[in-house]
Structure 1
Amino acid sequence: MINLREVVETNEMISKENLDVRTITLGISLLDCIDSDLKRLNEKIYQKIYEASKDLVETGEKIARDFGIPIVNKRISVTPIALIGGAACKSEEDFVAIAKTLDKVAHEVGVNFIGGYSALVCKGMTMADELLIRSIPKALSVTERVCSSINLGSTRTGINMDAVKLMGEIVKETAEYTKDNDSLGCAKLVVFCNAPDDNPFMAGAFHGVTEADKIINVGVSGPGVVKTALSKVRGENFEVLCETIKKTAFKVTRVGQLVAQEASRRLGVPFGIVDLSLAPTPAIGDSVADILCEIGLEYAGAPGTTAALALLNDQVKKGGVMASSYVGGLSGAFIPVSEDQGMINAVEAGALTLEKLEAMTCVCSVGLDMVVVPGDTSAATLSGMIADEMAIGMVNQKTTAVRVIPAIGKKVGDRVEFGGLLGHAPVMAINPYSCEAFVNRGGRIPAPIHSFKN
């Protein structure tokens, strides 16, 4: 049983080491909202989300006050809108209308993001899937809080290269639509391989069709806590290092478990999972890259970085699964560039390149996350980056993702400012050679041989 003594143990982590619960995310099924009439559909979506989430923000704030645990974000995820809008939406503008409804209700209930403007196209696209995907640039430019995600591949099905090609074009178009704001729309758009149904983090959260009508998922954080713990065992061997990470991850996850159960009780919504990912912020001392340096690297990106990240990711999971019976989502270590000051420093020092980042994604929770590239990067090159990450996820039976921002009007070495948790980032150099003939082939890359397990 979790009790308040365990919370008291974490007081110093909260006050001095940036420990927080990054998000309480309420997942809501919209399957019962499906209607062939667009107006009625939007009315049903608004009403279902409003009634389910009207107390979410207030409840989160009360839990934070009662237990002294910072809860940074309160969010909503919904069933992929391509499924919900298929019967009513006959044009891109119809889907944009749904995005506006999502944004309106998100504003009214006070959440900071709502995820699920999504499509699952790992094997093929329906007409509704394609319409939603093509509507993304407009939808993200006319809304503030809507996040979009597209699943392009899986270990079981392979990679939908037609969708990969299309998403390179959509990312580029989204950047153009929001170019007056440092192409911010791309920060709310992510593509996945093996996307999880219960991810509480944005921009990739959606409510999977196998989930309950409503569910509470919680994402914890704590890079600063892990770094501080490791600073006390400098020079010790790997056994001591691993034990320290595991014990720290256990304590962090227990905090998330407490908050998740309390939110579930107060809202009358079933508890889903705790995602124990180490999610950095732009705050000094709240960096996954700094943990890697504490392990023994001069900068993230130095030789040994992939091994150090693999060690960190594994020990975080081993500690977390002992603290909660329901660990899910992504769970591990995020390595976004713009949201991690240590990663930014490594890029600016020349220690971290896109190629090294890609290698690191083989052993971390996600993939190329919040990476800014020059605005003149071609759509085909963006598709190639996406295809590479999808292949890593497919072959390694893990979740990988790409959230890339081609900052219009920016060149290598420039900086873009997003603000808040999205932070700022330097524009990184990208391989200049073309992959256009590859991404234009069309069709699917087949699933790997180890996918055939029955």
Structure 2
Amino acid sequence: MVTLFEVNETNKMIEQEKLDVRTITMGISLLDCCDADLDILNQNIYDKITCVAKDLVSTGRDIEREYGIPIVNKRISVTPIALVGGRACTCPEDFVTIARTLDKAARATQVNFLGGYSALVSKGMTRTDENLIRSIPLALSSTERVCSSVNIGSTRTGINMDAVKLMGEIVRETAEATKEHNSLGCAKLVVFCNAPDDNPFMAGAFHGVTEADAVINVGVSGPGVVKHALEGVRGANFEVLCETVKKTAFKVTRVGQLVAQEASERLGVPFGIVDLSLAPTPSVGDSVAEILEEMGLESAGAPGTTAALALLNDQVKKGGVMASSFVGGLSGAFIPVSEDQGMIDAVNRGALTLEKLEAMTCVCSVGLDMIAIPGNTSAATISGIIADEAAIGMVNQKTTAVRLIPVIGKDVGDTVEFGGLLGHAPVQRVNTFGCEDFINRGGRIPAPIHSFRN
């Protein structure tokens, strides 16, 4: 039973504290679209997406109106395209035609983004995988709504360093291919270790091969709600702090659970998971960094930041799992620099560096996210950063990711505007000492000893 108090409390969180459902993401399997003829494959893909997801956006809008809950994005994720295009695609250019078909389908269904232009190469790359990866710069520069991801490592398999080296080059090429738009293509490209199959958040969403034919996943967000709650317990001990975050996460997740169930029922598509991540936006008051500062830090990046983030991440998960039977995706707290005004301010005041952000990724939901770096950063250096982040994920049995944007023509101290939810970012300093000889070794870094659990 929902009480009048709970209704009023939720309305206050929406109207004053920036609570929203960040995304409804429909995952769609394209495995039954496979065909050896490229034209038939593309037609199958377009027909299935536009048929299954034809009512996704309108249903989301109906739920918004009826319940008064903002649903910021409606999105689609699909089976990793490297798997779908294997029979028909013999070169990178063939895969680009699929990217354009996906973009066309995204426009037809009116979704914000479509994810799944992806390859899973944590242990090795097939020729098909490599063709898709090499097509990414052209695919992202010639589409508007398509997002791409590549999983290059896992706790069970280790890190594919050949793929790490290649992805450093691909990030550079994507930056060059979209340099007229502040290298925006890189904002739609994520490199993962331990990528989840049910992530509703872009740019890393794809529909895992273990999923149903179609599924509804929801991502909720409420940094402003958590910050407001913590304002009421200033100076209290850590037990009170933890209880406050946990109770608030429960309330936020219940909103996501409601939206997920309604969307699932109306669309006739099974409910998958609620991802209860605190995903910030560039709006003032909707910041994970400000939560950390409300805990008592002078600035995000100060000593104690990693401990504060670990506490926040853990309590968000503990509160969320009590509110939904199916919690998944990433779940916790995101720290994307360009999308979090508090993080931007911390970088500008010199409190937050790339190295500190890397330390924070040991305990946050994902990794080095939406970070602008100098446009002349070498491919080898980008690969080195990817390898470092993958190692954190592999050893700690968690998802980590890298979404770096080497902005062509920009250097440390410049600011880059991406627009919308992607926000703006100061260009951050990158360690200039080389790692080419390490990256060029080739092969695979073995899985850690604790991965052997059979």
Report the TM range for the smaller structure's normalisation.
over 0.9
What secondary structure, in the 3-state scheme, does the structure 1 residue paired with 2:322 have?
A: helix
> 5 Å matches for 1:87-236?
87-236=87-236
Cα distance in 1 for residues equivalent to 2:433 and 2:9: 53
Cα distance in 2 for residues equivalent to 1:230 and 1:450: 37
What secondary structure, in the 3-state scheme, does the structure 1 residue paired with 2:44 have?
A: helix
Q: Deviations over 1:44-99 (max 9, x none)?
A: 00000000001000000000000000000000000000000000001111000000
How far is the alpha carbon of 1:27 from its aligned partner?
0.2
Matched AA of 1:201: F
Within the alignment, does 1:408 sit opposite 2:421 as a pair? no
Cα distance in 2 for residues equivalent to 1:445 and 1:166: 15
Within the alignment, does 1:48 sit opposite 2:48 as a pair? yes
How far is the alpha carbon of 1:365 from its aligned partner?
0.3
2:33 corresponds to: 33
How far is the alpha carbon of 1:102 from its aligned partner?
0.2
How far is the alpha carbon of 1:38 from its aligned partner?
0.2
Matched AA of 2:267: L
C-alpha spacing 1:348/1:220, structure 2 compared with 1 (3 Å)? same
Within the alignment, does 1:79 sit opposite 2:79 as a pair? yes
Which 5+ residue runs of structure 2 have no aligned equivalent?
A: none
How far is the alpha carbon of 1:5 from its aligned partner?
6.9
Using the size of structure 2 for normalisation, the TM-score is 0.99
Matched AA of 1:391: A
Cα distance in 2 for residues equivalent to 1:149 and 1:400: 12
Q: Deviations over 1:136-184 (max 9, x none)?
A: 0000000000000000000000000000000000000000000010000
Matched AA of 2:364: C
Asked whether the equivalents of residues 217 and 274 of structure 1 are also in contact (C-alpha less than 8 Å), the reply is yes
What secondary structure, in the 3-state scheme, does the structure 1 residue paired with 2:117 have?
A: strand
C-alpha spacing 1:267/1:383, structure 2 compared with 1 (3 Å)? same
Cα distance in 1 for residues equivalent to 2:405 and 2:134: 17
2:284 corresponds to: 284
Q: Deviations over 1:86-133 (max 9, x none)?
A: 000011110000000000010011000000000000000011100000
What secondary structure, in the 3-state scheme, does the structure 1 residue paired with 2:328 have?
A: coil
Cα distance in 2 for residues equivalent to 1:351 and 1:163: 33
Cα distance in 2 for residues equivalent to 1:258 and 1:222: 15
Cα distance in 2 for residues equivalent to 1:324 and 1:183: 39
C-alpha spacing 1:368/1:192, structure 2 compared with 1 (3 Å)? same
Q: Deviations over 1:311-339 (max 9, x none)?
A: 00000000000000100000000000000
Cα distance in 1 for residues equivalent to 2:416 and 2:4: 42
How far is the alpha carbon of 1:413 from its aligned partner?
0.5
Asked whether the equivalents of residues 7 and 255 of structure 1 are also in contact (C-alpha less than 8 Å), the reply is no
Within the alignment, does 1:18 sit opposite 2:18 as a pair? yes
> 5 Å matches for 1:237-252?
237-252=237-252
C-alpha spacing 1:65/1:382, structure 2 compared with 1 (3 Å)? same
Q: Deviations over 1:216-247 (max 9, x none)?
A: 00000000000000001000000110000000
C-alpha spacing 1:175/1:89, structure 2 compared with 1 (3 Å)? same
Matched AA of 1:369: D
How far is the alpha carbon of 1:399 from its aligned partner?
0.1
Asked whether the equivalents of residues 220 and 276 of structure 1 are also in contact (C-alpha less than 8 Å), the reply is yes
How far is the alpha carbon of 1:200 from its aligned partner?
0.1
Asked whether the equivalents of residues 78 and 207 of structure 1 are also in contact (C-alpha less than 8 Å), the reply is yes
How far is the alpha carbon of 1:8 from its aligned partner?
4.0
2:253 corresponds to: 253
1:396 corresponds to: 396
C-alpha spacing 1:176/1:4, structure 2 compared with 1 (3 Å)? farther
Cα distance in 2 for residues equivalent to 1:384 and 1:190: 15
Matched AA of 1:276: L
What secondary structure, in the 3-state scheme, does the structure 2 residue paired with 1:395 have?
A: helix
What secondary structure, in the 3-state scheme, does the structure 1 residue paired with 2:197 have?
A: coil
Cα distance in 1 for residues equivalent to 2:290 and 2:429: 23
What secondary structure, in the 3-state scheme, does the structure 2 residue paired with 1:217 have?
A: strand
2:327 corresponds to: 327
1:418 corresponds to: 418
How far is the alpha carbon of 1:3 from its aligned partner?
8.2
How far is the alpha carbon of 1:7 from its aligned partner?
4.3
2:378 corresponds to: 378
What secondary structure, in the 3-state scheme, does the structure 1 residue paired with 2:42 have?
A: helix
Asked whether the equivalents of residues 369 and 401 of structure 1 are also in contact (C-alpha less than 8 Å), the reply is yes
2:362 corresponds to: 362
Matched AA of 1:271: F
What secondary structure, in the 3-state scheme, does the structure 2 residue paired with 1:323 have?
A: coil
Cα distance in 1 for residues equivalent to 2:320 and 2:251: 8
Matched AA of 2:283: A
Asked whether the equivalents of residues 2 and 254 of structure 1 are also in contact (C-alpha less than 8 Å), the reply is no
What secondary structure, in the 3-state scheme, does the structure 1 residue paired with 2:152 have?
A: strand
How far is the alpha carbon of 1:9 from its aligned partner?
2.8
Which 5+ residue runs of structure 1 have no aligned equivalent?
A: none
How far is the alpha carbon of 1:2 from its aligned partner?
6.8
Matched AA of 1:164: V
Cα distance in 2 for residues equivalent to 1:66 and 1:8: 15
Asked whether the equivalents of residues 337 and 343 of structure 1 are also in contact (C-alpha less than 8 Å), the reply is yes
Cα distance in 1 for residues equivalent to 2:190 and 2:421: 16
Cα distance in 2 for residues equivalent to 1:50 and 1:8: 38
How far is the alpha carbon of 1:4 from its aligned partner?
8.4
Q: Deviations over 1:184-221 (max 9, x none)?
A: 00000000000000000000000000000000000000
Cα distance in 2 for residues equivalent to 1:399 and 1:268: 30
How far is the alpha carbon of 1:425 from its aligned partner?
0.1
How far is the alpha carbon of 1:6 from its aligned partner?
4.2
Cα distance in 2 for residues equivalent to 1:340 and 1:7: 28
Q: How many residues align?
A: 454
Cα distance in 1 for residues equivalent to 2:191 and 2:324: 28
Asked whether the equivalents of residues 95 and 135 of structure 1 are also in contact (C-alpha less than 8 Å), the reply is yes
C-alpha spacing 1:263/1:13, structure 2 compared with 1 (3 Å)? same
What RMSD in Å do the two structures reach over aligned CA positions?
0.9
What secondary structure, in the 3-state scheme, does the structure 2 residue paired with 1:10 have?
A: helix
